[in-house]
Structure 1
Amino acid sequence: MGLKGKLTVEKEIKCHGDVFPDLFRHNPHHLANIIPNHIQSCDLLEGEFGDLGSVSLWKYTDEGKEKYIKTVIEAIDEEKKLVKFKAAEGDVLQIYKEYTTTIHVDINGDDHLVTWTIAYEKLREDSPDPISLLNLAINMTKEIEAHHAK
């Protein structure tokens, strides 16, 4: 059994796809107001929001438990509307040796597709796959879409 894995989900949205890279890259601190049952806060620790290498501290809820993660923006591709976060500290690193989340948006005419990719390496073979975190991404997508469709 392998220790490395990748989970991906694609979700079509009705709101404009630019919303996602803008929120998660430039305005993650606004997420606590938009989806407070998932994200309680996002505080900038180093750099500027949206800059490569910037460090943020997120407080979030996963499976009914409050957790935290310190992330570093590891990659940005403005043309592909992509931002990749790497875990530098936090609850996920108690289970995974490495953990990254990538948010990517495809816009084709009126079709807008958000893709979440979670790449990870488990600390132990019996560690669970991060299915709950993928479900968190799906639920956040639905609620962000609903908020922006108002």
Structure 2
Amino acid sequence: MALSGGGNNNSYKLETVEAEVEIKSNADKLYKVFSNQHHAFPKASSDHVHDVVVHEGDWETSGSIKLWTYTADGNVEIFKEKVEIDEANKWVSFTALEGHVLEQYRSYKIIFQVTPKSGGGGLVKITIHYGKLNDNDPPPHKYLRFAINVVHDMDAHLLKE
């Protein structure tokens, strides 16, 4: 799995943090939002995501690039990412190209995998692969918390529809 952003030095250690979030809404609908309806995030998660705009490509195509404006731990940040979509396995990844996250990490890729449960709802596995710029930089727990909050917000939003 190739990670990009912050240079091409492969001599650093890749690390991972992850979490699982139980959802009550329709897992297929949630996956669809994460894969190709990013424009829905500011409405569903306005405390966390302020804006998402297409920089290159479109809303629906793997390889498209988007610019996000969001708040993590009380700070407004930006995140320019390249999206990869795997319909068969219901996962979406966002690889950092530019933004605040690359101030601490030479590489950063977040993956959301949605698994439906029989009887409704599902599970969202959030995985962040990252390489630290400096050994003393902390793991990206603030970004994992942010992602968990966004999943909860979107789940609640879809339950109201």
TM-score (norm. length: structure 2): 0.87
**Is the 1:25–1:50 contact (alpha carbons within 8 Å) kept by the matching residues of 2?**
yes
Q: In the TM superposition, what whole-angstrom CA distance separates every residue of 1:84-132 from its partner, at most 9, and x where no partner exists?
A: 1100000000100000010101113125111111110000001111001
**Is the 2:96–2:108 contact (alpha carbons within 8 Å) kept by the matching residues of 1?**
yes
User: In the aligned structure 2, how far is the partner of 1:19 from the partner of 1:94?
Assistant: 33
1:70-109 counterparts in 2 under 5 A? 70-73=80-83, 75-109=84-118
2:37 aligns to what?
Answer: 27
Matched residue pairs, number?
A: 148
Measure how far apart 1:3 and its partner are: 4.2
Which of 105-114 and 38-47 deviates more?
A: 105-114
Higher strand share: 1
Letter in 2 for 1:102: I
The percentage of counterpart residues that share the same residue type is: 32
Q: Which runs of 4+ in 1 moved over 6 A?
A: none
User: In the aligned structure 1, how far is the partner of 2:113 from the partner of 2:24?
Assistant: 16
1:1-150 counterparts in 2 under 5 A? 3-73=13-83, 75-110=84-119, 111-150=121-160
Question: Which ranges of structure 2 fall in alignment gaps of 5 or more residues?
Answer: 1-11
Q: In the TM superposition, what whole-angstrom CA distance separates every residue of 1:18-56 from its partner, at most 9, and x where no partner exists?
A: 233211221111110111110000000101112111000
Measure how far apart 1:72 and its partner are: 0.3
Question: Which ranges of structure 1 fall in alignment gaps of 5 or more residues?
Answer: none
TM-score (norm. length: structure 1): 0.93
Letter in 2 for 1:85: F
